[in-house]
Structures are given as C-alpha cells and as structure tokens.
C-alpha cells in the first residue's frame, strides 16, 4: 500500500463553535474580507455571530456571490481584496461563497489571470489565507484544495485545484445549516453522498479514503430524514459526513458522475447536488455492468438495498430522475458527452468510458 495524504486545514467542528472564531484569527491580522452570498449570511445566523467578534478589525464585506460563481464575480472580489489590502479572507456560505473566497485569495495576490492557474500553471506562492465557514452540509469545500468557477461565456464549469488553496482553518458549526430550506438540505446531502461514492470508486482511492467514504455514505443514509426534520443530532452528523466526504475527494477528486452533472447546472440551472442525484441511478447501472471494481459496486448496492434501488432512494426524496422534466433535451446529450470525455476525471473512473456510454447514461436518465 502506498499513498500521500495531505490535509493542511485546521478543522474546528461542533455545534456552536462559530462563537470561538476569533480565537483562530492570527494575531497580526487587521484587515479582513468576508466573502459571502446575498441572503444566507444573515439567514444562517452567521452574520451576527461573526460581526460581534470582528469589531476591532478593519472588515470589508463582499456579499455578491451567486450560485456557481462566475469569473466576473471572482474578478470583482479580487479587486476589492487588493484595494483593501486584506490579510485574511473569510468565506461564509455554501460551496459557492467558499469557492469564491478561495479563488479571490488567488486572484488578489497573483499576477497572472486565474485561468492560467486553472489550466495548470503552478501557484508558486501561498495565497492570502482563507478561513471557511460552511452554511450548507454538502460540498466539503471547507476541506478541499478546489474552487469550482463557472465560465458563463463559454458555458463551462472549471476547477482551480492547488494545495495552496486549502483553507488554513475551517469552522464547521452545524447550527448554521438549520436555516436551509428543505430543497437545499436535500440537494446538498446528495452532493455529500455522491462525493463519498465517487471517491470510494475513484482509481486514486486507498484504504483510508475507502473507510472515510463508507462512513460518510452511511451517515447520509441514516441521518438525512432527521436533518430534513431539523433534528440537532442528525444535522450535526450531516455536517460531519460532508466534511468526511470533502476529505475523501480532496485526495481522489470526483469521477464521471460529477463531470456529467456540470452541464446540467451550467445550461439548465439545476443545483449542483440535485444534478448529481438525477444522474446517479443510470451512472450506477453503467458502473455495475462495466466497472473494474465489482466488490465496491456490490457494497454500494448493499447500502442502498433498504431503499429498494438508487432510483427509489432519489425519487423518495422528491427528486425526479427524468431529465426532460427539467427542460433538458436529448439533442444536447452528444455535445455534453463531448465536453465530458475530455476531462481528466474520466481517467480516474474505473471503467473504459466512451462518448456513446456517456450519451447512454444521459438517455437512461430521461
């Protein structure tokens, strides 16, 4: 067995821990940028708790991060961070504001355009340090070295990936997720489940990741209904599962399912976690027939058995698995498949994947 395991982020986890945030800000810091979204900063209760601890700092708030943040948003935030000479960025919200915070930390600090780093230019210097504070239990962005940015002009979701963008600290306070509406709770939980499942299947996985991924999948299945009902223990376990699944994908990345879901968010505005959930049953059917990891596929099937099937599990959550109900038309599938097949994550999917297979998975999701 051989592996490299890297996780430089300090994790502070627990209900009510946001009140301790001030303790985790290094003593030399004076100028802070908060990167967040228009509504949930306040709705989650984070604003009140954070601002009470930052009275003695120079704080600027950039609260214009939309779902699936664009390059334009990152540029605006980067200009603000540079103008204000910020020494620390705090990303508060779901994956969108946390990813935006990580990308702004690169954009405000480095000379080259962000796209150069996305296309593989190595980040030579550490960025401005970032603290992440999740208000959804979904993306795990608080513990990953990724920031997903949407190129709205060319209709692509692109991933900035570098060890330099791991947050220095993440404060995971499940209390902040209580205000999630039911649909956001379900969509983000499905993101957790698919992260864990894809990390488990990835050819880059190793036994440590396998254990964490199985634990994360199990926690989602056991606690999802409780989290919808806002049970405190269940929402705490969902935040924990999200963190575990984030740690898993930080080591392995996601695989075919996630890259197939990207066009559904970019062109049809289907929320990220829901897009993965819609395609999951057909993806699993494909993997059952064609994957090189039959034992792992059996374990996933066993997990889902109490729900009847993957399709029943997803449908029982009120998620339609018919792409046509979201206005996605079969004539687009070939284009989406061509877009998907060139992504690096195809190479870590444990199956020989062709364009026709991708088209078939989309078709079987209709």
What is the binding site for ligand NAP (CB under 6 A)? 37-40, 43-44, 67-68, 93-96, 99, 135-136, 138-141, 144, 146-148, 176-177, 179-180, 184, 188, 191, 272-273
Backbone angles phi and psi of 58, in degrees to 5: -90, 110
Angle at the Cα of 169 (from 167 to 175), degrees rounded to 5? 110
Minimum CB separation from ligand NAP for residue 147, in Å?
6
The dihedral of CA 233, 198, 338, 312: what is its sign?
negative
Q: What is the DSSP string of 270-320?
A: --HHHHHHHHHHHHHHHHHHH-S-HHHHHHHHHHHGGGSSHHHHHHHTT--
CA separation for the pair 315, 249 (Å, rounded): 25
Minimum CB separation from ligand NAP for residue 71, in Å?
13
Minimum CB separation from ligand NAP for residue 354, in Å?
25
Minimum CB separation from ligand NAP for residue 94, in Å?
2
Query: What are the distances in angstroms from CA 3 to CA 25, 224, 239, 291?
Result: 32, 32, 26, 22
Q: Quick one: tokens of 175?
A: 């209390």
C-beta of 177 vs 321, nearer to ligand NAP = 177
Three-state SS sequence of 341-358: HCCHHHCCCCCCCCHHHH
Contact partner, 198, from Zn ion, ligand NAP, none, Cβ < 5-8 Å per class: none
C-beta of 99 vs 191, nearer to Zn ion = 191
Contact partner, 38, from Zn ion, ligand NAP, none, Cβ < 5-8 Å per class: ligand NAP
Task: Count the residues in the chain.
Answer: 366
Under rule CB under 5 A, residue 198 binds Zn ion:
no
Contact partner, 144, from Zn ion, ligand NAP, none, Cβ < 5-8 Å per class: ligand NAP
C-beta of 188 vs 321, nearer to ligand NAP = 188
Spell out, one character per residue from 18 to 37, where the chain touches Zn ion: x when CB under 5 A holds, - when not: --------------------
User: Which residue in this structure is represented by tokens 């940028």?
Assistant: 33
User: Which residue in this structure is represented by tokens 């979904």?
Assistant: 138
Exposure of 214 in the CB half-sphere (CA atoms within 13 A): 14
Judged by CB under 5 A, the stretch of 70-78, 81-89, 188-196, 231-239 that binds Zn ion is: 188-196
C-beta of 144 vs 223, nearer to ligand NAP = 144
Backbone angles phi and psi of 2, in degrees to 5: -140, 135
Under rule CB under 5 A, residue 191 binds Zn ion:
yes
User: Which residue in this structure is represented by tokens 């498949």?
Assistant: 337
Restricting to residues 41-100, which ones interact with Zn ion according to CB under 5 A?
none
C-beta of 49 vs 147, nearer to ligand NAP = 147
Contact partner, 177, from ligand NAP, Zn ion, none, Cβ < 5-8 Å per class: ligand NAP
Contact partner, 174, from ligand NAP, Zn ion, none, Cβ < 5-8 Å per class: none
In the bound complex, which residue of the shown chain has the CB atom lying closest to Zn ion? 191
Which of helix, strand or coil describes residue 133? strand
For Zn ion, the binding residues (CB under 5 A) are 191
């Amino acid at each position: 067995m051989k592996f490299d395991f890297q996780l430089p982020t300090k994790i502070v986890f627990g209900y009510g821990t946001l009140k301790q945030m001030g303790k985790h800000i290094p003593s030399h810091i004076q100028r802070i940028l908060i990167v967040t979204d228009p509504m949930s900063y306040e709705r989650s209760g984070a604003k009140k708790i954070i601002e009470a601890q930052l009275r003695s700092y120079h704080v600027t708030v950039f609260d214009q991060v939309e779902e699936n943040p664009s390059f334009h948003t990152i540029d605006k935030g980067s200009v603000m961070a540079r103008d204000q000479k910020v020494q620390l960025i705090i990303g508060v919200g779901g994956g969108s504001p946390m990813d935006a915070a990580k990308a702004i930390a690169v954009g405000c600090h480095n000379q080259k355009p962000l796209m150069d780093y996305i296309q593989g230019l190595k980040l030579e210097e550490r960025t401005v340090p970032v603290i992440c504070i999740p208000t959804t239990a979904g993306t795990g962005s608080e513990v990953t070295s990724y920031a997903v940015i949407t190129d709205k002009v060319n209709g692509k979701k692109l991933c900035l990936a570098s060890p330099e963008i791991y947050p220095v600290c993440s404060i995971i306070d499940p209390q902040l997720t209580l205000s999630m509406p039911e649909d956001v709770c379900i969509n983000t939980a499905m993101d957790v489940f698919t992260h864990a499942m894809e990390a488990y299947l990835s050819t880059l996985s190793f036994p440590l990741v396998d254990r964490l991924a199985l634990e994360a999948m199990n926690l989602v299945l056991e606690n999802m209904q409780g989290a919808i009902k806002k049970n405190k223990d269940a929402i705490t376990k969902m935040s924990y599962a999200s963190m575990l699944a984030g740690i898993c994908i930080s080591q392995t990345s996601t695989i075919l399912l996630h890259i197939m879901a990207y066009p559904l968010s970019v062109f049809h505005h289907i929320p990220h976690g829901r897009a993965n959930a819609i395609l999951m049953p057909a993806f699993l059917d494909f993997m059952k027939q064609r994957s090189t990891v039959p034992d792992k596929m059996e374990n996933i099937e066993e997990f889902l058995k109490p729900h009847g099937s993957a399709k029943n599990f997803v449908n029982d959550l009120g998620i339609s698995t018919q792409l046509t109900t979201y206005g996605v038309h079969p004539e687009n599938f070939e284009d989406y498949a061509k877009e998907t097949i060139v992504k690096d994550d195809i190479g870590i999917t444990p199956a020989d994947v062709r364009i026709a297979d991708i088209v078939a998975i989309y078709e079987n999701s209709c």
